[in-house]
Amino acid sequence: MSDEALIVIDLQNDFCPGGALAVSGGDEIVPEINALIVCFDHVVLTQDWHPAGHSSFASQHAGKAPFESIDMPYGPQTLWPDHCVQGTEGATFHPGLEWTRAELVIRKGFRKAIDSYSAFFENDHETPTGLAGYLRERGIGRLTMAGLATDFCVAYSALDAAKLGFETRVVMSACRAIDLGGSLDLMTEKMKDAGVTLA
């Protein structure tokens, strides 16, 4: 039994070209992710999963546009176009993703008042998703991550994983970034500083 898992982050229609929050080249990583999936004994998927009217949507804040930032009770929050609404086509996985071997799908961002970039904690950095307990209970200590978007959900997940003591690797070629105001460079540096291996 391997102590290693692949975590595929948010490979959903809304983050791919044509989607509500399209990440440039988001669909290009599907073949590489599928190639990774067959190499791992354990595969976990994350799925951004917001109720309609989620507080991270710019549409919920008068006078605010997508990609602006606001102060929420838990800290600064970037505002997004409405995306990954529960049960919609945009929230489903990219049709090319080989998801059948996934042992767990962890949904996040389902509480209206708070966003969740990381697979481990909501954006208050303290409300757990349960993923750390799941992995530890199963004896998994080493994680490889890939998906969308490099500088948001992948980076926040990798930083939390490293902080929680998981040996953490991000396959950068199997990620694509939103890159908002230098966020890709900033988050790449933060991952390096945290001891995340960038492959």
27 binds Zn ion, rule: CB under 5 A = no
187 binds ligand VGL, rule: CB under 6 A = no
- Helix, coil or strand: residue 105: strand
Which partner in ligand VGL, Zn ion, none is near 27 (CB below 5 to 8 A by kind)?
Answer: none
- Binding segment for ligand VGL (CB under 6 A), chosen from 64-72, 87-95, 145-153, 159-167, is 145-153
CB 80, min distance to Zn ion, A = 6
Contact between residue 81 and residue 43 where contact means Cβ atoms under 8 Å apart: no
Q: Among 148, 159, 171, 175, which residue sits at the site for ligand VGL (rule: CB under 6 A)?
A: 148
Q: Secondary structure of 143-195 in the HEC alphabet? A: EEEEEECHHHHHHHHHHHHHHCCCEEEEEEEEEECCCCCCHHHHHHHHHHHCC
Per annotation, catalytic residue among 16, 84, 153, 175: 153
Distance separating the N- and C-terminal Cα atoms of the chain: 24
Say whether 153 is catalytic: yes
Which of these, 49, 47, 48, 33, lies nearest to 144 by C-alpha position? 33
Structure tokens at 23: 């990440």
Site string for ligand VGL, 8-27 (x = CB under 6 A): --x----x------------
Q: Among 153, 158, 162, 171, which residue sits at the site for ligand VGL (rule: CB under 6 A)?
A: 153
Q: Nearest 5°: phi and psi at 66?
A: -55, 145
CB 1, min distance to ligand VGL, A = 30
Among all residues, which ones are annotated catalytic? 10, 108, 153
Residues making contact with ligand VGL (CB under 6 A): 10, 15, 48, 80, 117, 148-149, 152-153
